Structure 1
Amino acid sequence: MTQSKEVQLVWHEAAVSKEERWEQTGHKSAILWFTGLSGAGKSTLANALEKKLFEQGTRSYVLDGDNIRHGLNKGLGFSEEDRKENIRRIGEVAKLFVDAGTIVCTAFISPFRDDRRQVRALVEEGEFIEIYVRCSLEECEARDPKGLYEKARAGEIPFFTGISSPYEEPEAPELIIDSDKKTVEQSVDEIVDYLKKRAII
């Protein structure tokens, strides 16, 4: 009789703790979860922030929605079910970065509140920082850096957030960045200030 996978799996405790990694690097780790509509500027902001953190000697890494779909989540589509699985996997990967003592910047539309709540629940209190990159649908469509809104309006892309699929705005994010009103530099400075106030860096 074949044993279930759950019976065969045993959690292996790491020899080095997260706290020991913090002591070595001189800063804490956290998930900076950038959420917002396509074209709001999540990836731009996440990468600009990582560059600044890197220059300051902080261990950080960016997980970008499109990049992840080229590898880890290559087989997933954009149905509601696939989007949920996409975020579930990213949450688990982001948790590993936190355990490794790294600040991980995740840039994903992540349209559903419940999915974001589930990722928050994976880590300890204070280690999940939801950053709502707020930008009007009109401005996002005007930018349309990848030409996606035009295709969605033409019916070429099903389940497109903001057009044919909903986006559930965060109810109580740690930070709101109005990307249509602030420069990238101003936004990065605001996030860095927040991380310093929280004694993460």
Structure 2
Amino acid sequence: MATNITWHPNLTYDERSSLRKQKGATVWLTGLSASGKSTIACALEQLLLQQGISAYRLDGDNVRFGLNKDLGFSEKDRNENIRRISEVSRLFADSCTISVTSFISPYRADRESARALHKDSDLKFVEVFVDVPLEIAEQRDPKGLYKKAREGVIKEFTGISAPYEAPETPEIHLRTEKQSVEECAQQIYLYLKKESIV
């Protein structure tokens, strides 16, 4: 662990928010593979940008091409994956951008650590449970991952051979077998407005 480092302060969050005329926050979408997280995150990002609100999407697959390409899918690597994304999303939120994260993030403790990191910086953290029954996620299976998990090709797969700990008190609970992508994105947007985040 580095000891010879110094934090260099610049603008305060309030100063940056005043200059950018926007607040920052993290909208954290969690749920099983094929629940609709990434699709909803894309729709929400577009909706926010169309409203003139600075937003950026961090996607579970996309970050593994760069920032997290050294990580696998063991529990330890999943923990580190979420730790890094928690830090990155906090930086985006501190820059007065709406960070929209789309990660399975199967462990409750990891999501709570992400929340605590934001709380320690007085930044809003909105947990969104993108809920879908396992059987429907398996029917969708756009990447063929559930099939591979059932065949034993993928050894540690969330919902099949690895656990998913559903949020107990998320700010938003979406049911994607009952709601359209547009309805889900709109529900999140309306929550952000109600909470004076946007």
Q: TM-score, normalised by structure 1?
A: 0.95
Look up the equivalent residue of 1:41 and give its one-letter code. Answer: G
Among the aligned pairs, what percent are the same residue? 53
- Structure 2 contact 24–123 (Cα < 8 Å) conserved: no
1:32 CA drift (Å): 0.3
Q: 1:27 aligns with which of 9, 18, 22?
A: 22
Runs of 4+ in 1 over 6 A off after TM superposition: none
**Secondary structure at the counterpart of residue 121 of structure 1:** helix
**In the alignment, what sits opposite 2:142?**
145
Mapped pair 1:121 → 2:116: yes
1-structure distance, mates of 2:15, 2:134: 44
Look up the equivalent residue of 2:107 and give its one-letter code. Answer: F
1:25 CA drift (Å): 3.0
**In the alignment, what sits opposite 1:197?**
194
Map 1:1-201 → 2, pairs under 5 A: 5-6=2-3, 8-13=4-9, 15-124=10-119, 127-201=124-198
- Structure 2 contact 30–105 (Cα < 8 Å) conserved: yes
Look up the equivalent residue of 1:168 and give its one-letter code. Answer: E
1-structure distance, mates of 2:138, 2:185: 23
1:123 CA drift (Å): 1.2
2-structure distance, mates of 1:80, 1:66: 17
2-structure distance, mates of 1:197, 1:109: 26
Q: TM-score, normalised by structure 2?
A: 0.96
- Structure 2 contact 93–123 (Cα < 8 Å) conserved: no
- Structure 2 contact 107–164 (Cα < 8 Å) conserved: yes
- Structure 1 contact 25–58 (Cα < 8 Å) conserved: no
Gaps of 5+ in 2: none
Look up the equivalent residue of 1:121 and give its one-letter code. Answer: A
Task: Give deviations 1:54-77, integer Å, cap 9, x for gaps.
Answer: 011000000000000010000100
- Structure 1 contact 25–59 (Cα < 8 Å) conserved: no
How many residues are paired up? 196
